[in-house]
Structure 1
Amino acid sequence: MTTTTISPASRQQPVLRSVATGERVFTLPLEHGPLAPATARHTARPVLESWGLDDEQVYDALLVISELVTNAVVYALPPVVLHLYAAADEAGQVQVYVSDGGPQPATAAAGWQPAAPRTSTDGARPSSPPSPATPAPTATPAD
């Protein structure tokens, strides 16, 4: 069963603004759920293109956005908000930030449970290489 938490911040609309100095800022509140990375990518693409990034730069930025939003959804609490920033003097350079509500307890993050240590008796390889075998004593024939 998949659940999606919608925080009050995620009901807000994206904010795109230009600061008086020519800086461009984009803010997008996201739902804390499995659709957040896709929503972030689909919403950010036209913004990045309007800021003059070429196809390769847009692709790279969308990859970073997807990774950061995914990490925030999987490992942190809501709200998740995407922030993009482009300075007026840096053509093609965009800073990508994702804010979230802080870390979840380690075992609560996406149902993750630490694996129990495996020993060599249950089929796993030993953690260190075996020591060289001691040669068996050689038998000498009896006279």
Structure 2
Amino acid sequence: MAAWGLDDDQIYDTLLVISELVTNAVTHALPPVTLHLQASADASGRVQVHVADGGTASAPRTWAANRPDDEHGRGEDIVTALADHTGTHADDTDSLIDHWADLTAA
């Protein structure tokens, strides 16, 4: 990410967004879970984080279901606070759900 022009704070924010999106997918969704990062090729200075999963699981994984309420539930707020734009897109061709966030990289 440093090669893309991100400074230490931007790298930290991007890694935190990645962590939250991946954790959410592993905890609440069906496999497979994939991560894709992309830096913009133009002067917009954006990095995109995409985490795709197999859709919502019928029940959370045992680990997540057994955690106290004060130990979860803040991930979406963290991603929204750090990213400029966020969203979700369902891909009908492969049945994956893409959760994405755009962050300023420059």
Higher strand share: 2
| Residue among 33, 36, 44 paired with 1:83 | 36
Secondary structure of 1:109's counterpart equals coil
Alpha-carbon separation, structure 2, partners of 1:50 and 1:69: 23
TM-score (norm 2): 0.55
Q: Name segments (4+ residues, structure 1) moved above 6 Å.
A: none
Structure 1 residue ranges without an equivalent (≥5)? 1-47, 114-143
TM-fit CA distance, 1:75: 0.2
Spell out the pairing of 1:9-88 with structure 2 (5 A cutoff): 48-88=1-41
Secondary structure of 1:104's counterpart equals coil
State yes or no: 1:109 paired with 2:38: no
Q: CA RMSD in A?
A: 1.4
Structure 2 residue ranges without an equivalent (≥5)? 67-106
Alpha-carbon separation, structure 1, partners of 2:35 and 2:28: 15
Alpha-carbon separation, structure 2, partners of 1:103 and 1:51: 33
Alpha-carbon separation, structure 1, partners of 2:54 and 2:21: 14
Secondary structure of 2:60's counterpart equals helix
Alpha-carbon separation, structure 2, partners of 1:56 and 1:88: 21
TM-fit CA distance, 1:87: 1.3
Larger Rg: 1
| Residue among 93, 98, 117 paired with 2:51 | 98
Alpha-carbon separation, structure 2, partners of 1:50 and 1:109: 37
Task: State the structure with bigger RCO (CA 8 A, min sep 6), 1 or 2.
Answer: 2
User: How many positions carry a matched residue from both structures?
Assistant: 63
